[in-house]
Amino acid sequence: MNAYQLRYSCQIALPNFGESGQKLLQQAKVLIVGAGGLGCPAAQYLAAAGVGTLGIADFDVVGISNLHRQILYTPADVGQKKATVAVQRLSQQNPNVAVIVHELKVTSDNVTALISDYDVIVDGTDNFETRYLLNDACVIAGKPVIYGAIYQYEGQVAVWNVKNADGTMSPNYRDLFPQVNASLIPNCADGGVIPTLAGIIGCIQANEAIKYITQTGELLAGKVLVFDAASMQSRTIKIGHSTQTNISQLTETTTIPVMTVAEVKAGLAEDALELVDIRTDQERDEINIGGLHFEADEFDDHLAYLTNERVKVLYCSSGKRSAEVVKLIRQKFPDAKVFSLDGGLKTWFESV
């Protein structure tokens, strides 16, 4: 037995897996979009399993608040690009895997080229615009997506866009959620997440990717696995046999105007802008940096104020909800002087 066979001997010994399954893994190309809480464990197990080519796409940097769940990183990595650090660590973990860095923000201009060289796409994103964009691009290209999502104590996993035996395609993300008002939904930075949940869901995503590549087991296609870390209970919800959507083109990515912490502080010092807190009442009571306050779903009631001549900078915990509200305002009033605080309160307090 050579070194290669020895390394993977335990999985090669599996029923219905064998050396043929390992060869399929060695030939496979998997792209992980998002090197965060889900992407880290998914990438580690796919690299350990011997996937031949592993792409890591992310544009963000490591932050202190990431470390409790993004287990590829250490305090020494804070401020560095996640994709670059992740590729370095994964290459050390398994030198036989070709790990490719894609240090970019996924947009409608680059997503088609990004996914073109890969067989399987693992969705580790943390915002709805990218999630829908990735889903639609993969539907058009005919590529499977291993979906994962986490919030507080609950996680979800599904496999989208797999060809059925009858030639139809299995459901995709839009079959489950045709559209979502993202401004109303807090993310991990806003609502919290238990760190172990990221590991559990990320590992299940890696498991589904391995099953798809090696053609073993029963995929989570046409259904969604919902897992509750608080009760340790799970349930599988059936969506249907085949997709009911017709996706033929990509939605153009919206460029959302933002201001950095430094720009906002300078503007406040010069009385050149006003802050608007769009978080919940509870979040506002816990901590704030001033400004007018109303919740994200109430912005319509304040349009006269939001669209007057003064510059407004909206903020939330992470910058994602405020960005969604700014996008909605700009869609109605393209000339409105509204911006989102880049990185939200998390970045504000990290910069102190």
- Catalytically annotated residues: 188, 316
Rg of the chain over Cα atoms, rounded to whole angstroms, equals 21
Triad 58, 93, 229: Cα angle to 5° = 65
In three-state secondary structure terms, 214 is helix
273-277 and 292-293 strand pairing: parallel
CA distance 143 to 44: 22
CA–CA dist 148, 145 (Å, integer): 10
Matching residue, tokens 């001549």? 309
Q: Characterize the bridge pairing of strands 223-228 and 154-160.
A: antiparallel
Residues facing residue 225 across a β-bridge: 157, 236
Q: In this structure, are residues 184 and 297 in contact, taking their beta carbons and an 8 Å threshold?
A: yes
Helix, strand and coil in the chain, % to nearest 5: 40, 20, 40
Give the sign of the dihedral formed by CA 19, CA 21, CA 24, CA 28. negative
